[in-house]
Amino acid sequence: MAYQALYRAFRPSTLDGLVRQEHIVKILKNQIETGRVGHAYLFCGPRGTGKTSTAKIFAKAINCLHPVDGSPCGKCEVCKALADPANLDISEIDAASNNGVNEMRDLREKVQYPPVSARFKVYIIDEVHMLSDSAFNALLKTLEEPPKHAVFILATTEPHKLPATILSRCMRFDFKLIPQEDIEEHLKKILKEIGKEYEDEAVSAIARAGAGSMRDSLSVADICISYSKGKLTYADVCEVLGSADFYEVAKLGESVLKEDASAALSETEKVIASGKGVGVLAKDMLTFLNRCTIAKTCRNAQELLGLPAEMFAEVKRIADEAEGRKILRTSEIFAQVETDLRYSTSPRIIFETAIAKACLPQADRDILTLARRLDALEAKLQSGGFTASPAAAQAAPSMRQTEEADSPFAERVPRAPRPRMAEEEPPADIFSAPRTSFADRKIEVSGNALENRKAAGALFMRSLRKNVKSGVLFTMCQDLETSFEGDTFVLATDNEIIASRLNSPENHKSLQQALEAIGIRDFVVRQKGQKTDPAKEQIEQLKRDFPDTEIDVK
């Protein structure tokens, strides 16, 4: 006899042989035992979950003379007659190749004839969603009021493509994906039955590759058994699946998480040169990052991942050394790569760009990387990294210039000098002028109305440098736009994060100290586009309208 594939050789013959579809099996058993058999059923769900197998078992069970626990006995005359392939009482129709109106009209005529050796004439229509609109219309009336001896079982993976008129005439059963644990148990049972030795990690890898489909898992197992003459190992399964070597992917992932762009790109070149496709490498990289996430967050990570001990130890080591936010950000980048590769004619460039983006956060301008850079600046401030003298600070470049100079993507274009505001002195005076000179430059305030407002921005920056020992705060204030709204000094920025940081209690107190040194008491920091508090505007308007009246704000 010719060799049969595992999914055919081990197809279940009873309802109890189905794996993890108990919610459906219970209903069908009760219908068979009570004799309340419907005339139309719809079995829908993902591929490889047992829809067609259940339909065949149910078709035999409702005709069996002595059903055993809702399943066909296989010994009575009817069961033996139905086991003959030439028997026409159970007809299986492939709607993918018989999807025209003429086939359904022919079915409508044949359904009138009674069964030969059974009680019911069962029609199993597989992939029923492939029928044309005309074919559905031809089937509709027969499906609604079939002869008493006819039972229809429709099977599909895409029930949403069926007309509502068909759905409303069927008893619908939704098959669910099979958990990995149950697939592993079923695979081990089959491997023991055929006498094939195996590693537990190899079976876990096959079950994961099946992604909830028993038929897909058995197909992968069939190939692995043919590949391995001896004991089935985890390495054999990875080779069959075409995955890159685990340790090569782990080395690549570690380089990316450590932000070593040179090592990561070199490792990418090595893996691709060995013959692995970019799509497979991207999938393996995403799988590795997912394993790192599980290893870093779950206590039972080894049980969930099902990796050999030495492989899990490597994943655990890399995950523990990496920052959680870095793993998350890198996972998001490579998840987008898998989508981009579908539409790209240069997959390698897409992949290597993703590596560069993950390894060079200083070259990225998104919110997460900006927040990370501000955290680094604050950490350096707390550790005393900004304690240089004014003369050294004058000679040192700004934070932004330093970061852009370090960036491999920094544009080598001379930066235009920032225009100085009116009455602003040369930058050297900011650091060289003695602190006492601020008394002469202080803005005179009369009735809380500033006489000279044009120089307020320049004086504020000089006061900030003299009165506040914070390089981070000075850097964040360099690009602020200054203006007055009434007697309120407004500091505006385009960046939401910088506005939030400047409004923190510690930074707000420092700004207040610098502004009071030049005679400004009322100020506000906000993002551009935000409006001031309406109540405050009304109070200021009242003060301007009634200058001689004292207004008490509570």
Closest CA to 323 of 302, 304, 300, 296: 296
The answer to whether domain 6-174 has CATH 3.30.465.10 is no
Residues 51, 220: Cα–Cα separation, whole Å: 20
More confident residue, 68 or 470: 68
Instruction: Read off the pLDDT of each residue in 242-252 and give the average, rounded to a whole number.
Output: 83
CATH number of 246-363: 1.20.272.10
Residues 245, 267: Cα–Cα separation, whole Å: 12
Instruction: Read off the pLDDT of each residue in 150-167 and give the average, rounded to a whole number.
Output: 92
Closest CA to 307 of 208, 389, 373, 387: 208
CA torsion, points 38, 44, 47, 51, in degrees to nearest 10? Answer: -10
Strands 481-485 and 488-493 come out as antiparallel
Pick 180-241's CATH classification: 1.10.8.60, 1.10.510.10, 3.40.47.10, 3.40.50.300: 1.10.8.60
> Is the pLDDT assigned to residue 27 strictly greater than 90?
yes
Confidence of residue 434 (pLDDT cuts 50, 70, 90): very low
Residues 6, 32: Cα–Cα separation, whole Å: 29
Residues 484, 541: Cα–Cα separation, whole Å: 14
CA torsion, points 261, 262, 266, 267, in degrees to nearest 10? Answer: -50
Residues 256, 334: Cα–Cα separation, whole Å: 11
- Strand order of the β-sheet with 121-126 is 90-94, 121-126, 150-156, 40-44, 171-174
> Is the pLDDT assigned to residue 85 strictly greater than 70?
yes
DSSP assignment, residue 163? Answer: -
Q: E strand or H helix at 121, and its extent?
A: strand 121-126
Look at phi and psi of residue 148 and say left if phi exceeds 0, alpha if psi is from -120 to 50, else beta.
Answer: alpha
What would the two tokens of residue 272 be? 């691709």
More confident residue, 6 or 532: 6
Confidence of residue 545 (pLDDT cuts 50, 70, 90): low
Residues 192, 195: Cα–Cα separation, whole Å: 5
Angle, to 10 degrees, between the axis of helix 347-359 and the axis of helix 246-257?
Answer: 50
What is the structure's pLDDT at 541?
63
Q: Tell me the C-alpha to C-alpha distance, in Å, between residue 414 and each of 362, 395, 405.
A: 20, 18, 12
- Taking a C-beta distance cutoff of 8 angstroms, is the pair 168, 56 a contact? no
- Taking a C-beta distance cutoff of 8 angstroms, is the pair 204, 73 a contact? no
- Taking a C-beta distance cutoff of 8 angstroms, is the pair 122, 85 a contact? no
3-class DSSP assignment, residue 29: helix
What residue ranges do the domains of the chain occupy? Answer: 6-174, 180-241, 246-363, 427-545
Q: 507 φ, ψ to 5°?
A: -70, -35
> Is the pLDDT assigned to residue 498 strictly greater than 60?
yes
- Taking a C-beta distance cutoff of 8 angstroms, is the pair 54, 24 a contact? yes
- Taking a C-beta distance cutoff of 8 angstroms, is the pair 517, 463 a contact? yes
Q: Quick one: what percent of the chain has pLDDT higher than 70? A: 80
What is the structure's pLDDT at 437?
39
CATH number of 427-545: 3.30.300
What would the two tokens of residue 529 be? 């586009």
3-class DSSP assignment, residue 309: helix
What is the structure's pLDDT at 535?
58
Q: Which amino acid is at 287?
A: T
The per-residue pLDDT of the chain, averaged, comes to 80
What is the structure's pLDDT at 432?
41
Strands 121-126 and 150-156 come out as parallel
> Is the pLDDT assigned to residue 461 strictly greater than 90?
no
Confidence of residue 187 (pLDDT cuts 50, 70, 90): very high
Instruction: Read off the pLDDT of each residue in 87-93 and give the average, rounded to a whole number.
Output: 89
**DSSP per-residue letters across 480-520:** -EEEEETTEEEEEES-HHHHHHHTSHHHHHHHHHHHHTTT-
DSSP assignment, residue 98? Answer: S
- Taking a C-beta distance cutoff of 8 angstroms, is the pair 25, 82 a contact? no
Confidence of residue 234 (pLDDT cuts 50, 70, 90): confident
pLDDT digits (tens, 9 = 90+) for 330-356: 898 899 888 888 888 888 999 999 998
- Quickly count helices (H) and strands (E) in the chain: 28, 10
Closest CA to 494 of 513, 506, 478: 478
More confident residue, 474 or 65: 65
Bridge partners of 90, per DSSP, are 122
What is the structure's pLDDT at 422?
44
Instruction: Pick from 163-172, 234-243, 265-274, 465-474 the range whose average pLDDT is largest.
Output: 163-172
Contacts of 330 (CB under 8 A, 6+ apart): 256, 257, 289, 358
pLDDT digits (tens, 9 = 90+) for 252-285: 999 999 888 889 999 889 888 877 888 888 888 9
Kindly calculate the radius of gyration of the chain based on its CA atoms and give it in whole angstroms: 37
Instruction: Read off the pLDDT of each residue in 220-249 and give the average, rounded to a whole number.
Output: 86
Tell me whether residue 416 is exposed, middle or buried, using C-beta atoms within 10 angstroms of its C-beta: 0 to 12, 13 to 18, 19 or more: exposed
What is the structure's pLDDT at 189?
93
Residue with tokens 């898998």: 338
What would the two tokens of residue 348 be? 């390698």
Closest CA to 49 of 167, 174, 151, 170: 174
Residues 1, 493: Cα–Cα separation, whole Å: 80
Residue with tokens 């309340």: 36
Count how many Cα atoms sit within 13 Å of the Cα of residue 452 in the half-sphere of its side chain: 15
What is the structure's pLDDT at 469?
66
Instruction: Read off the pLDDT of each residue in 453-478 and give the average, rounded to a whole number.
Output: 76
Q: Do domains 180-241 and 246-363 have the same CATH topology?
A: no
Instruction: Read off the pLDDT of each residue in 134-157 and give the average, rounded to a whole number.
Output: 89
What is the structure's pLDDT at 128?
92
Residues 211, 375: Cα–Cα separation, whole Å: 40
DSSP assignment, residue 444? Answer: P
pLDDT digits (tens, 9 = 90+) for 366-425: 666 667 677 777 777 777 665 544 544 454 454 445 444 444 444 444 444 544 444 444
What is the structure's pLDDT at 452?
59
CA dihedral over 73, 75, 77, 80, signed as positive or negative: positive
